[in-house]
């Protein structure tokens, strides 16, 4: 049965009814009034790509400027590298298995040794400039600063493994290339997407757009790189997103004004420190100079413990400067708190300010901040290291650098990445809590070893070797403190009482 259209009167009633209901139940944050006019001007109904495309280049260049000139952005990048990558990088632990499902120690040792050799400077990337740790530091900083980073997987590279990496700035991913291809695929800011919005290829400019020595074009201005050869990484913000933007986007404006205020306040304070006062002329005592005459010079050299007599007609007025202002430090601190909230690390770490911090607040802040770094560590593993290891292992086995049967490739792909860990906030209390957890079987020894950034298998092997060496030398392997005899205990109690 065909549905009858509502009459004009009915439609008018519906509009009025919905408007009335909306007024009663509307969100306060969605109301439009004179108080929210500025907010209305900042909203946009565009999709993620439209919003990013409009401001992408400006955000990236301003973020790079602040990475050079802002001490706090520099500190943010340094904290990321120290806590996400660490001094040893994210360590590879092979978990290769035998066909029977047991640990394949021989294959694990071979894979880990080959990976360590590959991770050395001169082997890891195509330029020969970066080791594994240096490459990760550069990758993390580029990702945070620019909001996106590209790594090309170069298979068939002329080295022992037939494989190397090339890190690329996303300036080469043509931001202005947007097209609908004849096959139905779409190109959004240089990224070719299928109907499911899965990246298929990347259109790179043949040279960096900022390079003054551009090569002549050869068969077009783009290099089309298939998606299985290029890792384009950014932190997702909205669905349908094809490009990323700087991690400092929510803090840059506030930090810019904060830096300008600091600079102006420092200049004013410096000016006030250099300028001691003014000499004023009294017209009753001194005639103004003629056209060809100049004011008499007053000697202003001052030494400690001396006084000066001013000429007739002059009086000295001291200059009183109120810079730095009394609210300078609280204002800077409050601004940096907002900056830290937009970046991720705690205010105390970002600003190097431990004033007024007690143990409880420091512990709470450390645990929260470490969770942030752990999330970034897992992001690095899932977005970069898993793909790099799989491609490296395949090429190393095909190239003969890793002598293992290629038919068992799937079993050798089982790995565990061990990021850096941190020392305990309160070693005595945390160690006691760990011992209780192990005794109660709620946590394992391996868990706490991994929390420290070490490989449990390596630690257990080292303990076994150490205990064997102690036995060979006739030394005790017990870790319990020596027990005292009753007489020794009585003597200790009498000594303590005295």
Alpha carbon distance 493, 96 (integer Å): 57
Both tokens assigned to 329: 């430090």
* CA–CA–CA angle 57, 60, 65 (5° rounding): 125
Phi, psi torsion values for 115, nearest 5 degrees: -65, -40
Contact of 361 with 349, CB cutoff 8 Å = no
Q: What per-residue confidence (pLDDT) applies to 290?
A: 56
Per-residue model confidence as pLDDT tens for the chain (498 residues): 555 666 766 776 676 656 655 555 567 777 777 777 777 767 777 788 999 999 999 999 999 999 999 999 999 999 999 999 999 899 999 999 988 888 899 999 999 999 999 999 999 999 999 999 999 999 999 999 999 999 999 999 999 999 999 999 999 999 999 999 999 999 999 999 999 999 999 999 988 888 777 776 666 788 999 999 999 999 999 999 999 999 999 999 989 988 888 888 888 777 767 666 666 666 555 555 555 555 556 666 666 666 666 666 667 777 677 767 777 788 888 888 888 888 988 888 888 777 777 767 667 777 888 899 999 999 999 999 999 999 999 999 999 899 999 888 999 999 999 998 887 666 677 777 777 788 888 878 877 777 776 777 777 777 887 777 878 777 777 766 555 555 555 565 555 555
Domain ranges, ordered by start, for the chain? 48-234, 423-479
- List all residues 6 or more positions away from 463 whose beta carbon is below 8 Å from its beta carbon: none
Structure tokens at 36: 């929210």
Joined tokens for residue 378:
């897992």
Non-local CB neighbours of 55 within 8 Å, separated by 6+ positions = 245
Are 190 and 234 in contact, with CB atoms under 8 Å apart? Answer: no
- pTM recorded for the entire structure: 0.78
Per-residue model confidence (pLDDT) at position 133 = 96
> Residue 179 pairs with which residues in a beta bridge?
187
pLDDT of residue 218: 60
Q: What pLDDT does 297 receive? A: 62
pLDDT of residue 170: 94
Q: Are 397 and 442 in contact (CB under 8 A)?
A: no
Residue 41 CA neighbour count, 13 Å, CB half: 5
pLDDT recorded at residue 157: 95
Coil, strand or helix: which one is 199?
strand
Strand ranges of the sheet holding 186-188, from the earlier edge strand across to the other edge: 179-180, 186-188, 191-193, 199-205, 222-226
């Amino acid at each position: 049965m065909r549905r009858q259209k509502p009459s004009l009167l009915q439609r008018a009633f519906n509009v009025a009814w919905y408007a009335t209901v909306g007024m009663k139940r509307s969100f306060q944050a969605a109301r439009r009034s004179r108080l929210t006019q500025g907010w209305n001007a900042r909203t946009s109904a565009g999709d993620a790509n439209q919003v990013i495309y409009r401001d992408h280049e400006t955000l990236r260049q301003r973020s790079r400027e602040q990475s050079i000139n802002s001490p706090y952005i520099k500190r943010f990048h340094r904290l990321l590298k120290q806590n996400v990558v660490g001094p040893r990088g994210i360590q590879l632990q092979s978990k290769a298995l035998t066909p029977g499902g047991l640990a394949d120690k021989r294959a694990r040792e071979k894979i880990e040794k080959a990976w360590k050799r590959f991770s050395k400077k001169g082997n890891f990337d195509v330029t020969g400039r970066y080791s594994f740790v240096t490459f990760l530091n550069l990758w993390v900083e580029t990702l945070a600063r620019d909001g996106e980073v590209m790594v090309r997987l170069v298979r068939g590279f002329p080295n022992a493994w037939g494989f190397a990496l090339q890190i690329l700035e996303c300036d080469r991913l043509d931001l202005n290339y947007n097209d609908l291809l004849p096959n139905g695929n779409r190109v959004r800011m240089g990224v070719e997407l299928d109907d499911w919005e899965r990246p298929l290829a990347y259109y790179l400019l043949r040279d960096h757009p900022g390079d003054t020595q551009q090569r002549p074009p050869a068969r077009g201005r783009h290099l089309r790189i298939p998606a299985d050869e290029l890792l384009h990484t950014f932190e997702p913000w909205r669905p349908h997103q094809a490009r990323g933007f700087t991690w400092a986007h929510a803090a840059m404006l506030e930090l810019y004004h904060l830096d300008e205020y600091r600079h102006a306040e420092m200049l004013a304070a410096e000016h006030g420190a250099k300028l001691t006062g003014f000499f004023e002329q009294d017209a009753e005592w001194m005639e103004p100079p003629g056209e060809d005459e100049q004011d008499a010079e007053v000697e202003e050299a001052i030494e400690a413990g001396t006084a000066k007599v001013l000429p007739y007609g002059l009086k000295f007025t001291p200059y009183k400067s109120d810079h730095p202002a009394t609210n300078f430090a609280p204002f800077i601190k409050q601004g940096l708190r907002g900056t830290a909230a937009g970046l991720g690390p705690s205010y105390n770490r970002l600003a190097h300010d431990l004033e007024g911090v007690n143990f409880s607040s420091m512990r709470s802040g450390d645990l929260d901040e470490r969770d942030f770094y752990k999330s970034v560590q897992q992001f690095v593993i899932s977005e970069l290291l898993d793909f790099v290891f799989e491609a490296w292992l395949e090429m190393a086995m095909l190239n003969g650098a890793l002598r293992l049967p290629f038919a068992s490739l799937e079993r050798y792909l089982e790995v565990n990445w061990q990021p850096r860990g941190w020392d305990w906030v309160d070693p005595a209390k945390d160690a006691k809590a760990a011992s209780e957890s192990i005794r109660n079987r709620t946590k394992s020894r391996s868990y706490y070893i991994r929390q420290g950034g070490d490989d449990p298998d390596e630690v257990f092997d080292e303990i076994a070797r150490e205990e064997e060496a102690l036995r060979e030398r006739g030394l005790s392997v017990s870790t319990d403190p020596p027990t005292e005899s009753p007489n020794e205990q009585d003597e200790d109690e009498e000594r303590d009482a005295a």
